[in-house]
Chains A and B, each alone.
Chain A
Amino acid sequence: MSGRTADASRSITDQVTEVSLRRVGLYAVLVGLLAFYLSPIEAGLVTSLKTTAAFNETAPYVPPGLDGLTLAKWAEAFSLLQAGLVNSLILTIPATILSATLGSLAAYGLTKVDWKGQVGVYVLFIAGIFIPYQAVLVPLSEFWGQMFPLYEIGAPVWAAVPFLQEYHGHLLALIVTHTAYGVPICTLLFRSYYKDISDEIVEAARLDGASVASIYRKVILPLSVPMFAVTLIYQFTQVWNDLLFALIIIPSGSGSAAPVTLALVQLGSGVVTDFTIKMAGALVTALPTIIVYVLFGEQFAEGVAA
């Protein structure tokens, strides 16, 4: 901000001291806030690296000394969560791609096409973002449990295809569910982007005789690449981080289908809570989203801001 310019009546040195004092104060506050935002993660990280002895002896935020340092908790957490990590990947990747694709298609059909009713349909899409999922849970479990039990219906498929097990039916149900509830936000993200694409390009293509479908393929889709990045990143973290749908759709007996979030809830909780293993597990679970966030922070912020 350029508010620091000129107040000619005062001497230059006065101004410089005042400005630099303010700057020092500003940075002190910013760094103090950093401490607030990083401390839970820092405490988790140092704790996950401690041996049980070091855990008992040191303060929660102090890193372990060389003799108290161990990767054993990470290894243990990883091996306990391994199956969950695989399940999470199996369900997150297709659900992310499907909802982003459907969102792009829907947004195009409701933006660049000249049809008056589109805003009304769009409102119905958007309202879907804001519903509390509690309002659909009982029907969801009825649908996937009683009416359309994919794990049973798909039995011949699970038997015939190598690597597929019955519990993959639960994962498939989760993929469909996440896709359906991801469509509204993806549509919103793409539509706000498509609205800014110039109408003239589309109109020109139309006068050249291009059909609605070929305008999408040849004009809109190539322009959508940056938005696909934003949507895929946002949706990946959403689906990866979910607990509620997994809890409701996967029957409590079927632990083999549990995604990593569901497995993490119980990790390290016994008669005495083992925080070293809990923290290691939390970081293992968070690692994919943290990596995505660090690599694509800008896109994530953009997705969030929309």
Chain B
Amino acid sequence: MRSLLRGVKRLFTDDGGDATAGLDQADDGPTDTTVTDVGEPVPDGGVEAAAGPATAGDGEDSMLSRLRRSDFLGSLPFWLPPFLLMGFFVYGAIGWNLLISLTDMSGFTDPDYSNLDLQNYAQAFSDPGFINAAQNTFVLLVAFTLVCLVVGLLLAILVDQGIRFENTFRTIYLLPMSLSFVVTAQFWLWMYNFDNGMVNTLLRSVGVANPPQWIGDPQFVLTAVIIALVWQFSGYAMVVYLAALRAIPSAQFEAARVDGASTVRMYWRVIVPQLKSATISAMVVLMVFALKAFDFLYSLAGGYQPPSGSDILATKMVREAFNRGEWAYGSAIAIMLFLMALAVVAPYLTMQYRQGEL
């Protein structure tokens, strides 16, 4: 914990001299006592000493800064227990998962931590099933995210036209997002049913003689899954864009009108460029949703093996570990999935931090 705090603190050392100096001393002094005495400010000499050099001013100042110093201790009981619980299950588990991925744990044996190597990662890259799942994951991620953003932006612009019953429209567009993947998978299983499903019934009624099998056809299944997921999550993109649109001063819409810009051109030239940060945050969240598509595919198939042509890393990982007992191999796939997510999220969080959004 202490080393973690130090590391965190180091992140901020270039933020300005005296604040950091104060923190340094606060950290060296009272932190040790926190384990035994959590809660009220520690009334020993450590605080006084620490308070001294940071203020060098009149009495009121030193009292204020002493209060501030005590804030760190006072704040511990609030954030530390949730942090420990979350840290154990998130970061502890990821670390443990990394360790398991280096063993050759499979079947009913316990992991042997004395013999670690990268063999599972090597295995992945020579496993055609892994390559295939990685490709599908990539396609799903990119296509789903892009279509969701476009549909969401369209919905937001339409809803933003000062329409009547705006709330009703918004509520219905967002409704699918409140449903479980398991539920939406049941609905779409029925929609895509080859003989009687709504999609093919409608296709036949407009003259398509041989509509696709959708779920049963490896060529179409990924498209079918993406459409279903777009149905579920485009409302989310709408909400994000709507908030961003409302933040743009209406004078800008009017100014573009006066300039004679047509509606489409106005949106493309004036409005869309201002939606960049909304787009980025919606994109990151949508990608995270896409990585969680496991629940949907599991429910679609009613088991660990998703319909042929729609295996993604998330389903392959769970199947290798929990169906086939290849724990170590599954863990290795999980780590690669984690790294993919990190590659998307880390730049985003860094950007947010730089902009002072956190």
Q: Interface residue tally of chain B, by bracket?
A: 35 or more
Q: Scoring A residues 99 to 134 as 1 if CB is less than 8 Å from chain B, else 0, what string do you get?
A: 000110110111001111111111111111111111
Give 1 or 0 for each of B80-107: 1 = CB within 8 Å of chain A CB.
1111011111111110110010000000
Judge whether A120 and B8 touch: CB under 8 Å: yes
Q: Is B275 in the interface zone, CB < 8 Å from A?
A: no
Other-chain contact of B75, A109, A119, A206 (Cβ < 8 Å): A109
Beta-carbon nearest neighbor of A26 in chain B? B161
Q: A30-B169, A37-B231, A179-B85 are in contact. Are A116 and B198 (CB under 8 A)?
A: no
Q: How far is the CA of A283 from the CA of B186 in the complex (A)?
A: 10
CA distance A285 to B257 in the complex (A): 49
Q: Mark B1-42, 1 if CB is under 8 A from A, else 0.
A: 000010111011001000110010000000000000001100
Q: Does B190 contact A (CB under 8 A)?
A: yes
Given the complex, which residues of A lie within 8 Å of B169, measured CB to CB? 30, 34
Contact across chains for B183 and A286 when beta carbons are under 8 A apart: yes
Cα separation A304 to B302 with both chains bound (whole Å): 28
Contact B358 A241 (CB under 8 A): no
> Which of B44-52, B123-131, B206-214, B292-300 lies at the binding interface?
B292-300
How many whole Å from A20's CB to the nearest CB in chain B?
13
Bound Cα distance from A266 to B317, whole angstroms? 21
Partner of B39, one of A44, A142, A213, A264: A213
- Contacting residues of chain B (203-252) with chain A, CB-CB under 8 angstroms: 231, 235-236, 239-240, 243, 250
A167 within 8 A of B: no
Contact with B along A277-306 (1 / 0, CB 8 A): 011011101100110111001001100110
Bound CA span A269–B302, Å: 8
| A125 in contact with B86 given A264-B183, A265-B298 (CB within 8 Å) | yes
Q: Write the nearest CB–CB distance from B304 to chain A, whole angstroms.
A: 9
* Binary per-residue interface labels of chain B (160-172) against chain A in the complex, 1 for a CB within 8 Å, 0 otherwise: 1111000101111
What's the minimum C-beta distance from A257 to chain B, rounded to whole angstroms? 16
Question: Does B112 lie at the interface of the complex (its beta carbon under 8 Å from any beta carbon of A)?
Answer: no
Contacts of A133 in B (CB 8 A): 292
B358: chain A residues at CB < 8 Å are: 119, 122-123, 126
Q: Which of A40, A103, A113, A286 contacts B191 (CB 8 A)?
A: A40
**Using Cβ atoms and an 8 Å threshold, which residues of chain A touch B23?**
115-117
Name the one of B90, B240, B322 contacting A136, with C-beta atoms under 8 angstroms: B90
Of B163, B167, B178, B327, which is within 8 A of A289 by CB? Answer: B178
State how many residues of chain A have any CB contact under 8 Å with chain B: 105
CA distance A275 to B345 in the complex (A): 40
Contact B174 A301 (CB under 8 A): yes
* Residues B158 and A131 in contact, CB atoms below 8 Å apart: no
A13 at the interface (CB under 8 A from B): no
B187 touches A248 (CB 8 A): no
Q: Residues of B contacting A243 with CB < 8 Å?
A: 180-182, 295, 298-299
Complex contact A212–B71 (CB within 8 A): yes
User: With contacts A243-B299, A248-B322 known, is A237 near B178, CB below 8 A?
Assistant: yes
Chain A residues near B337 (CB-CB < 8 A): 132, 134-135
Q: Let me know if A3 and B257 touch, CB within 8 A.
A: yes
| A12 CA / B198 CA spacing, docked (Å) | 46
Closest CB in chain A relative to B305 CB, distance in Å: 13
Interface pair B181/A1, CB less than 8 Å apart = no
Cβ of B116 under 8 Å from chain A? no
Nearest chain A CB to B233 CB, angstrom units: 10
Cβ of B330 within 8 Å of any chain A Cβ, yes or no, is yes
6 pairs, CB–CB < 8 Å, chain A vs chain B: A26-B161, A34-B169, A130-B284, A134-B314, A206-B67, A282-B182
Known: A1-B253, A27-B163, A305-B243. 9 other contacts (CB 8 A): A3-B263, A30-B158, A30-B159, A40-B191, A102-B85, A134-B334, A137-B330, A240-B180, A265-B182
